[in-house]
Amino acid sequence: MQMELRHLRSFVVLAEELNFRRAAERLYISAPALSVQIKQLEDMLGVRLCERDTTKVRLTPPGEVLLYEARHLLHQARQAELATKEAARGNRGTLRIGNPGYFGYSFMPEVLACYRERFPEVDISLVELDVELEQPQALENGTIQVGFSYGPQLHLLKDIENLLVIDTPMRVVMAPGHPLAASRQVSLAMMAGHPLLSVLRYDSHMRNMLALFHEHGLKPKATKKVDGFNAYIAMLAAGEGVSMLPEMLVLLQTGRVVTRPLKEEGPDLRLHVHAVWKKHDTSEHVRNFVEALRQSGVRND
């Protein structure tokens, strides 16, 4: 036989009661059945755990040691049970989310704070992955549980659910002293006369902007990819070029750059971002995070 938790529970109750009848009543078994369990435990350990006669029970020194260890093991088993149940309810465990990219500044801090308030024991990992090139595969193989996708990319993803989180016009970003900053609106043709900057880490940033220029029969004067978002903002603030981003409060708060609306309009000049997750994912962590996104609403600054 192998030692089981039931043997340890029975022994602890007997050690607390020091009486087979009372211990058996607490365990909802008969006194003879309890006696058999204690004998089995002693046989498995090869030691005598208690001295007993017709009136009383007394623990032996090995029994005293087992009582201490058994209580610790039973506590650990209970903690493991509670932690497992909490994880099943989404209250503990790990949630892996693909970083939504530069536009995540506009909604992720608030959503993460909301989720953290409700589920403080969940360990959140924000994984740095390109939205178009890396997140679909990461979602497929389980590296992340929730990712993000641009609207035009959705039809390429199979067996996923999605939730629209951003629907906002793209804005022209530049230094306050840039020549285009004097205009109330900036056209793509006006932008084409200046270097176009993008974030190197997000390959789709430049590709999507160039696609817009191409659709309107335009080509920027020059293009440059900047390594890192902070360096990108610094280059814009220094007047090294212009770029396009959705309206983000964090940009305006810095005072280092300004934004202007595009003169052109159309669905291709709006940013549509969807949260995506596996259609058959039953994780409560995912459901709870999606609910936090849903309560935050669609950003359309």
Per-residue pLDDT for the chain (301 aa), expressed as one digit of tens each?
A: 678 888 899 999 999 999 888 889 999 999 899 999 999 999 999 999 998 876 688 999 998 999 999 999 988 888 777 767 666 666 668 889 998 877 777 788 888 888 888 888 888 988 988 888 889 999 999 899 999 998 878 888 889 999 999 888 889 999 999 999 999 999 999 999 999 999 887 777 888 899 889 989 999 999 999 988 889 889 999 999 999 988 765 565 567 899 999 999 888 888 888 999 999 877 888 988 999 999 887 776 5
**Is the full-model pTM beyond 0.75?**
no
Strands 122-127 and 93-98: parallel
Q: What is the 8-class DSSP label of residue 269? A: G
How far is residue 107's CA from residue 248's CA, in Å, rounded to a whole number? Answer: 9
For the chain, domains (ranges, CATH) are 5-88 (1.10.10.10), 93-296 (3.40.190.290)
Q: Position of tokens 């396009």?
A: 244
Tokens of 33: 């059945």
